[in-house]
Amino acid sequence: MTTEPATSFPKDRIKVLLLENIHPSAHELFRGEGFHLETLPGALGEDELVKRIADVHVLGIRSKTHVTERVLGNARRLLTVGCFCIGTNQVDLASAARHGVPVFNAPFSNTRSVAELVIAETVMLSRCLGDRIREMHVGQWRKVATASFEVRGKTMGIVGYGHIGRQVGVLAEAMGMRVVFFDIAARLPMGNNHPTKTLEELLGQSDFVTLHVPETPQTRSMFGAKEIAAMRQGSYLLNASRGTVVDIAALADALKAGHLAGAAIDVYPEEPEKNSDGFKSPLLGLSNVIVTPHIGGSTAEAQEAIGREVGEALIKFVNGGVTTGAVNFPHIDNGPTPGKYRILNVHRNVPGVLRDINRIVTDRGANIAAQILATDPDIGYLVMDLDQDVALDVKNAIAALGTDIKTRILY
Ligand code: NAI
């Protein structure tokens, strides 16, 4: 339970701490709102973060700062955390929810960057460009047309037709390729892309197979010796999804045996923690194999878009209580209701809380202009707009209920 007073005004009381060189596109947004902004170039260790978090309302991190139970326990004023990246496992999400703190990330800001890399690699594989470039860098002039093809007219098989897969489909078609896709969910085909009924059907007709599935128990080692053997002789495999999806040893065997003509791999079952760590893989040194260090989504445009996407989500939550896109919280997105007094309440999800809260409001003679409740198994999130300014009184009474996790007033 918190007794934190209303925190949305004055706006310069909202303290935003951004760590790990978050893109300036986010700084501009927070400054534009009049929030108090502090930025640090690096990550903070747990002890340092525990010290600094006490008066922070909004925390922005990337992948290297760990927001633990201990950090959250010391974050008395924390309203929300933004992960300015895709992954969120550096945050104890369940603990954050128990503290009434929604966590946001940017799952789609780098979609286009990944799709463009896949298209570039498709052409590179088709022309053995990796090998030609490597030869030139050691002074070898090898002007050959062997094993070099146009991509026009070839078939691109996309496994996982979500955000990235669909973009790849659109771009591949624009290059004159025929596009087929396989997804476990029904997906509306873009342009002339065609769904296949089974993965085998896709593998049997694709010159290029590109993987865009998430990491799930079903996709773990989804591409092993059997699936690779089912690919066409002389075809190519691209993986810019997750490293656990492909059995790298089986892939290396298929490349050495000449069953596959090449591969482009951006993600690996084990990836180095730091840029200074070395990298080993059975794929290194194999011909027509493009290996990249998980850079599919690493572009200036993606970083800028991530700054904007997460920054906007955090501001919408601070200003209006909107939780759409939060990874650990029930979703509510109701627009502003001018002239009303908005109460945001996070509570333990036990029976009767809404009844108790409504009784508190009724007892004070106030009218509820709008009310939305969303729950997950552990917490309930209530956004309620009142006609009369009894919000502080209502807030204090809710705090006394014993089910309250966090209650905030927006005027
Ligand atoms: P998404 O969630 O929009 O799409 C994934 C699609 O895969 C969905 O349509 C889903 O139904 C489908 N799917 C799930 N299990 C499947 C299965 N067993 N067989 C066939 N289809 C299946 O995800 P998004 O944004 O397109 O990302 C795809 C992958 O790309 C993710 O693994 C993500 O982590 C990775 N990624 C990699 C980056 C990089 O730097 N290389 C950057 C961004 C994302």
Q: From the CA of 112, how far away is ligand 1's center (Å)?
A: 13
Which two tokens mark 62? 């990337």
- Could you tell me if 317 and 212 lie in one domain? no
Closest CA to 323 of 76, 172, 101: 101
Known catalytic residue at 294: yes
Ligand 1, residues 85, 113, 164: which to mutate, most atoms within 8 A of Cβ? Answer: 164
Known catalytic residue at 271: yes
pLDDT given for residue 86 in this prediction: 87
For atom 25 of ligand 1, which residue has the closest CA?
Answer: 163
pLDDT given for residue 387 in this prediction: 87
Q: From the CA of 211, how far away is ligand 1's center (Å)?
A: 8
- Could you tell me if 42 and 175 lie in one domain? no
- Could you tell me if 6 and 134 lie in one domain? no
pLDDT given for residue 222 in this prediction: 96
The domain that holds 340 is classified in CATH as: 3.30.70.260
Say whether 409 sits in a helix, a strand or coil.
strand
Residue among 38, 46, 271, 301 flagged as catalytic: 271
For atom 39 of ligand 1, which residue has the closest CA?
Answer: 296
- Could you tell me if 251 and 149 lie in one domain? yes
- Could you tell me if 161 and 265 lie in one domain? yes
Three-state secondary structure string covering 206-245: CCEEEECCCCCCCCCCCECHHHHHCCCCCEEEEECCCHHH
- Could you tell me if 132 and 225 lie in one domain? yes
Q: From the CA of 230, how far away is ligand 1's center (Å)?
A: 22
- Could you tell me if 121 and 78 lie in one domain? no
- Could you tell me if 389 and 401 lie in one domain? yes
CA distance 391 to 277: 55
Which domain does 126 fall in, by range? 111-291
- From the CA of 162, give the closest atom in ligand 1: 4
- From the CA of 242, give the closest atom in ligand 1: 32
- Could you tell me if 150 and 272 lie in one domain? yes
pLDDT given for residue 10 in this prediction: 77
pLDDT given for residue 274 in this prediction: 79
Q: From the CA of 37, how far away is ligand 1's center (Å)?
A: 34
Pocket of ligand 1 (CB under 6 A): 86, 110-111, 114, 159-165, 182-185, 187, 212-216, 218-219, 240-242, 266-267, 294, 296-297
pLDDT given for residue 3 in this prediction: 35
pLDDT given for residue 9 in this prediction: 55
- The strand ranges marked E within 233-333 are 235-239, 260-265, 289-291
For atom 36 of ligand 1, which residue has the closest CA?
Answer: 241
Q: From the CA of 359, how far away is ligand 1's center (Å)?
A: 46
- From the CA of 107, give the closest atom in ligand 1: 25
- Could you tell me if 161 and 195 lie in one domain? yes
- From the CA of 266, give the closest atom in ligand 1: 41
**Residue 125 phi, psi (nearest 5):** -65, -40
pLDDT given for residue 388 in this prediction: 79
Ligand 1, residues 241, 244, 309, 327: which to mutate, most atoms within 8 A of Cβ? Answer: 241
CB 205 within 8 A of CB 178: no
pTM, full prediction: 0.85
For atom 29 of ligand 1, which residue has the closest CA?
Answer: 241
Residue among 36, 194, 294, 348 flagged as catalytic: 294
Compute mean pLDDT per 10 residues along the chain, 411 residues long, and list them: 45 93 96 96 95 97 95 97 92 97 95 97 98 97 97 98 97 98 98 98 98 95 97 98 97 98 97 88 97 95 96 96 96 86 95 96 92 96 91 92 94 72
Q: From the CA of 77, how far away is ligand 1's center (Å)?
A: 35
- In degrees, rounded to 5, the angle at the alpha carbon of residue 111 between the alpha carbons of residues 335 and 223 is 125
Known catalytic residue at 242: yes
Residue among 132, 242, 347, 408 flagged as catalytic: 242
**Number of domains within the chain:** 3
pLDDT given for residue 11 in this prediction: 84
Cα maximum dimension of the chain: 87
- Could you tell me if 91 and 119 lie in one domain? no
pLDDT given for residue 5 in this prediction: 37
The domain that holds 62 is classified in CATH as: 3.40.50.720
Q: From the CA of 27, how far away is ligand 1's center (Å)?
A: 30
CB 25 within 8 A of CB 49: no
- Could you tell me if 240 and 117 lie in one domain? yes
